[in-house]
Amino acid sequence: MVDMSASLLHHGHIRLLKRAKELGYVIVALTTDEEIEKHKGYKPELNYEFRKELLLALRSVDEVVPSNWLLDQEFVKEHKIDLLFHGDDNSNQVEQIRTFARTPDISSNLIRERAMASLVMLANSKKCLLTPGPSNLHTENVFGIHPVFTRGDSEYDSIQIDVLDKIRRRAGQDSIVCMQGSATTAIEVATSNFLYGKVLAVASGYYSDRIIMMLKRKAQRLQLTDLIAITYDEFIEQRQSLSGFDWIVAVSTETADAFLCDLKELKHAADRMQARLMIDATGSINLEDDHELADVCMFSSCKGLGGLTGAGFITYNKELLSRLNPHAKEFVLDLSTYIEKKTTGPAHCLLSMHLICDRFAELGQRVRESKAIFVEKFRAHLVRQTNQPALCTKFKADSVKVPAGTVLYQPRSIEPGAHVICHLFDQFPANRSVGQFYDSVVIE
């Protein structure tokens, strides 16, 4: 007798059955559907009758009988069994038993995981998102999600600490909070708490303009003594003469314009005037260097970090807490709400990142490699040669032709004849190597 569930028949089962057949008449004790659900916690992919049909089609099987999860001496005696064969994970309380080492690198659960990975790869291969995030999907995003509660669940507490610590390290500050929402939510919270006094906002594109709009609306409520907005070019020209500011606010990567600000220049200016530096790192986290130069960073889960959409993050240096803007804040804009976890956090977003957070560096490198290949292939169409972010590239073209199933990025603000392509998709598994997709892109 060989007892098994055979919910997904594989070569490990076949090898065990062949060895049993060498000794005589083989009866398979096949676990019933009810017993599988009771002990494994799920219904088998194939019901008992189909599993029995498969086994009886094998030359190594003479008979199939229904069985419980565990066999006992009475069951063995009933079927006149001389010897019970089982893998070396046997739990049956039977005297006449022989165990064998399990076939390595195969199990029904492993097949399920490979099937899920294949489905994710197929989805990524069919639909390529040349967008800044969310882009495509990691298998680990799916595997990581399971039931949790954000209070009193020790498993979730451990996962949250691990994921947030690895994200914080990528940014470089000593503290982190997360919230449900997006980078925009994080920006609203950060600017409402950290900014005070005289603020210099560096305008480099659509997203910095949006921050400036936010600040103008709340400047009086924050009791800012002054809010000055200058373009990035003006900042570079005037950086040696700027003075008297308490904060510099800028966007690291302007996604809509594919422009990268120089964080070192921003930091030098901040240090010279003894100001603090706040960076919207949405398009640059895990893709660019030097985020540790900022005092505060804000970003989201679904771009360079490879997670699902729905989480905003603020990283900051703890010593700033003694100088927070004291004005009264709405509950959802109060930093303490998130420090003290007074609201439900983005649990499933963090779970989606748990199995990939050890590979942040690898994923960022894949995006940078993709960027380099695109730039080399389409260099004649580039809008600029400097200040190039890893996330995306801006180019001029009369037309852009891409394969069916491709979604091009539509920036919220861009001049006629210009296009932006994002390279995040190349961090996700698909039936192509990094940069190979660009062979099917025609830019004219």
Catalytic residue list = 38, 40
Q: Which two tokens stand for residue 395?
A: 């180019």
Q: ω into residue 134 within 30 of 0, thus cis?
A: yes
18 vs 103: CA distance, rounded Å: 13
Please state the separation of Cα 330 from the chain's center in Å. 30
Q: How many CA atoms lie within 13 A of 149 on its CB side?
A: 3
Cα first-last separation, the chain: 69
For the chain, what is the radius of gyration of the CA atoms? 29
The angle, 0 to 180 degrees and rounded to 10, between the axes of the packed helices 154-171 and 347-354 is 70
For 372, phi then psi, to 5°, come to: -60, -40
| 3 state SS for 268-283 | HHHHHCCCEEEEECCC
**Pair 308, 165: CB distance under 8 Å:** no
For the chain, the residue count is: 444
Which helix H or strand E contains 248, and what residues bound it? Answer: strand 247-251
Among 379, 355, 353, 369, residue whose Cα is nearest residue 426: 369
